[in-house]
């Protein structure tokens, strides 16, 4: 029974009077109580479960000034606007505002008019700002999207690591870190870096049972995307792409095929981003094609699907991104395309990151966990939730449950892999285990005397990539556990020990992805970069090539290869010098064909 408003305790009074709610949602009250008691809190709650109220309510109950650290300008602006509409004195100081506006915002905060002040870590973690804030009655500090502390890394946002100073600069002030996505390693990392281990961790269940999970091998991504979106005509959805260029291309492609779509990425100007975001929030049935820059703090309840045109970076990223669908609790879908080119690209991103070997190793292991999910031989939701430390039953709402795939009995190979992990002391990573199984006499194998083990060479007949896939599926199936936080060694779980000792069997999902030639990968990548206009020009160039080939009675490829024409269509050279830069144009062909092809490009509107 709800108490009359006049008899409510302070936290419920604020909840009712300011935010209009009669009761807290699951997980919120425990966080609020801990903060009101002066304790530090790390709270992990699913997207859409109301994390913001966990600090907004105690901020208003405690009085004084609450500092909110937020990673994105758009995110803090949205939250400030929402608070002001609720009658709360909230401000943001950020790089997108005019200096005079920031100065006035600071004056209001310094004079005691402001209850919540939002800032990016770069703005907060300067000596001048910290010294100024120390003179004010700071009562609470909230670090939103706290997984950035662990996952973005010091090379990308070094000020996030500097947030560890806050508990020393503001002694006695409770700090709350909030995130929707953090596995056990990330939670431990945040707890140590931000709180020195002195924190109360509250983890709400990760399950979003209304979201159907599907993973599909990538063949022709545009055709696959269009078929999916057309099957959800009139519904709001988000299409995540790896690059800024691809988001714009995808929006054009959908629009050309009768789907209302807009793009969003960090490289757009502020007005363009805001216009497209506002359209998505207010217009029904709009599709947003976006990079991961879009989504943090987006509170649109009726997003019916999230489509990954490219592989996300990790299971944490995937979980956070699909969490933007179905916030109203109604049926929603998460559909991912999964290709070999994506895996190579993600590996390359990790290797090129300006970070230490330890972080790179962790990120490769996180990517392996995502690949294990993609190759799931059993319920995807079980694998996803297990990754976050939550046990569950088969969901009946993923592609594997709804349309079970044909599995192979690979119990023998699975036991060989488990035996190799066990015999080598449960402390080595995947690469070493595969070397032992395949009988590779590497320096590491020989130094450890692992060539003398009975399991050495027993898996020689199985290819390296097949072993990788099988081991990923053993991890995904709960038979092995990778120590992501340590040195990446694999350990047997109770389920794995049972299988090794003869209990049960192991069913393997055959490789979803077949390797393709390097040429095909190059051509596929090149085609993916082309716009609709490029394709139109390419068709015209092919017609010209065919005419020239017939005149000379030679095969068309002798004039120029498809790859050269594709490069030409993208570059759209305006003169002979520029034409000479096209891939595959030598001196002789430059003299022979430059003018005729340049004329064709000009006639097509490219000159």
Q: How confident is residue 346, by pLDDT bands cut at 50, 70 and 90?
A: confident
> What pLDDT, on the 0 to 100 scale, is given for residue 451?
93
Tens digits of residue pLDDT in 191-249 = 988 888 889 998 887 888 999 999 998 888 999 999 999 999 999 999 999 888 899 99
Contact assessment for residue 346 and residue 242, using Cβ atoms and an 8 Å cutoff? no
The closest alpha carbon to 444, from 458, 428, 465, 421, belongs to 428
Return d(Cα 401, Cα 378) in angstroms, integer: 7
How many C-beta atoms surround the C-beta of residue 514 within 10 A? 8
Among the residue ranges 393-407, 494-508, 531-545, the one predicted with the least confidence is 531-545
Q: What is the mean pLDDT of residues 342-362?
A: 80
Angle at which helices 340-352 and 357-374 pack, to 10 degrees?
160
Long-range residue pairs from 29-37, CB within 8 A, at least 24 positions apart, any chain? 30/202, 31/55, 31/176, 31/202, 32/57, 32/58, 34/174, 34/200, 34/202, 35/140, 35/174, 35/176, 36/11, 36/61, 36/62
CATH topology of domain 211-402: Rossmann fold (3.40.50)
Residue spans per domain, the chain:
5-203, 211-402, 408-508, 526-603
High-pLDDT (> 70) share of the chain, %: 91
Tens digits of residue pLDDT in 97-128 = 888 999 999 999 999 999 999 998 888 989 99
Return d(Cα 190, Cα 194) in angstroms, integer: 6
Q: How do beta strands 408-409 and 507-508 pair?
A: antiparallel
- Between the CA atoms of 275, 324, 41 and 183, what dihedral angle is there, to the nearest 10 degrees? -130
Return d(Cα 115, Cα 137) in angstroms, integer: 10
Return d(Cα 263, Cα 252) in angstroms, integer: 9
> What pLDDT, on the 0 to 100 scale, is given for residue 3?
44
Tens digits of residue pLDDT in 12-25 = 999 888 888 888 98
Beta strands, E only, 309-396: 332-338
The whole model's pTM is what? 0.65
CA distances to 17, 534, 536, 584 from 567, in Å: 62, 10, 13, 9
**Would the CATH topology of 5-203 be identical to that of 211-402?**
yes
High-pLDDT (> 90) share of the chain, %: 41
Return d(Cα 374, Cα 311) in angstroms, integer: 10
Looking at residue 163, the DSSP 8-state letter turns out to be G
Q: How confident is residue 377, by pLDDT bands cut at 50, 70 and 90?
A: confident
Res 545 pLDDT > 50:
yes
- In terms of Cβ atoms closer than 10 Å to its own Cβ (0-12, 13-18, 19+), residue 425 is exposed
Return d(Cα 333, Cα 239) in angstroms, integer: 12
- CATH number of the structural domain 408-508: 1.10.10.10
| Best mean pLDDT range from 159-163, 382-386, 472-476, 521-525 | 382-386
Let me know the angle formed at the C-alpha of 498 by 439 and 431, rounded to the nearest 5 degrees: 30
- CATH number of the structural domain 526-603: 1.10.150.80
CATH topology of domain 5-203: Rossmann fold (3.40.50)
Let me know the angle formed at the C-alpha of 599 by 597 and 603, rounded to the nearest 5 degrees: 120
> What pLDDT, on the 0 to 100 scale, is given for residue 151?
58
């Amino acid at each position: 029974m709800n108490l009359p408003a006049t008899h409510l305790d302070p936290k419920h009074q604020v909840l009712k009077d300011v935010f209009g709610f009669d009761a807290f949602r699951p997980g919120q009250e425990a966080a609020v109580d801990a903060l009101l008691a002066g304790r530090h809190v790390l709270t992990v709650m699913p997207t859409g479960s109301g994390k913001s109220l966990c600090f907004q309510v105690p901020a208003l109950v405690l009085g004084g000034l609450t500092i909110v650290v937020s990673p994105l300008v758009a995110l803090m602006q949205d939250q400030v606007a929402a608070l002001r509409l609720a009658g709360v004195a909230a401000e943001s100081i950020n790089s997108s505002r005019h200096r005079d506006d920031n100065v006035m915002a600071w004056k209001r905060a310094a004079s005691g008019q402001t209850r919540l002040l939002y800032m990016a870590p770069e703005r907060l973690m300067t000596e001048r700002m910290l010294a100024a804030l120390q003179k004010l009655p700071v009562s609470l500090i909230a670090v939103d999207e706290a997984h950035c502390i662990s996952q973005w890394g010091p090379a990308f946002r070094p000020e996030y690591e500097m947030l560890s100073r806050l508990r020393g600069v503001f002694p006695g002030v409770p700090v709350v870190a909030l995130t929707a996505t953090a596995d056990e390693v990330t939670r431990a990392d945040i707890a140590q870096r931000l709180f020195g281990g002195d924190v109360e961790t509250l983890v709400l269940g990760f399950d979003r049972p209304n979201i159907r999970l599907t993973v599909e091998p990538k063949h022709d991504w545009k055709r696959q995307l269009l078929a999916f979106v057309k099957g959800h005509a009139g519904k709001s959805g988000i299409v995540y792409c790896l690059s800024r260029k691809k988001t714009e291309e995808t929006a054009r492609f959908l629009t050309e095929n009768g789907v209302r779509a807009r793009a969003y990425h960090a490289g757009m100007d502020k007005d363009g981003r805001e216009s497209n975001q506002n359209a998505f929030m207010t217009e029904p049935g709009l599709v947003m094609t976006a990079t991961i820059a879009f989504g943090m703090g987006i509170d649109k309840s009726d997003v019916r699907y999230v489509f990954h045109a490219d592989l996300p970076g990790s299971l944490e990223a995937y979980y956070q991104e699909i969490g933007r669908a179905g916030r109203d609790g109604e049926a929603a879908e998460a559909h991912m395309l999964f290709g070999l080119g994506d895996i190579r690209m993600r590996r390359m991103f990790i290797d090129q990151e300006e970070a230490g070997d330890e972080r790179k190793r962790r990120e490769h292991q996180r990517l392996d966990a995502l690949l294990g999910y993609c190759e799931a031989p059993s319920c995807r939701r079980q694998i996803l939730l297990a990754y976050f430390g939550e046990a569950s039953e088969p969901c009946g709402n993923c592609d594997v449950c709804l349309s079970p795939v044909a599995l192979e009995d690979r119990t023998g190979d699975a036991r060989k892999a488990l035996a190799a992990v066990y015999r080598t002391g449960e402390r080595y990573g995947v690469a070493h285990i595969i070397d032992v199984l395949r009988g590779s006499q590497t320096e590491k194998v020989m130094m450890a005397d692992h060539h003398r083990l009975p399991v050495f060479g027993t898996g020689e007949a199985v290819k390296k990539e097949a072993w990788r896939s099988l081991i990923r599926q053993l991890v995904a199936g709960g038979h092995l556990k990778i120590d992501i936080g340590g040195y990446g060694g694999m350990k047997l779980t109770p389920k794995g020990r049972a299988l090794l000792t003869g209990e049960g069997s192991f069913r393997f999902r055959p490789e979803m992805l077949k390797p393709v030639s390097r040429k095909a990968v190059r051509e596929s990548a090149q085609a993916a970069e082309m716009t609709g206009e490029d394709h139109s020009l390419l068709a015209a160039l092919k017609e010209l090539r065919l005419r020239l080939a017939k005149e000379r009675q030679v095969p068309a490829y002798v004039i120029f290869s498809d790859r050269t024409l594709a490069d030409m269509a993208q570059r759209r050279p305006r003169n002979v010098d520029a034409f000479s830069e096209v891939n595959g144009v030598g001196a002789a062909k430059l003299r022979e064909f430059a003018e005729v092809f340049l004329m064709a490009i000009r006639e097509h509107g490219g000159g």
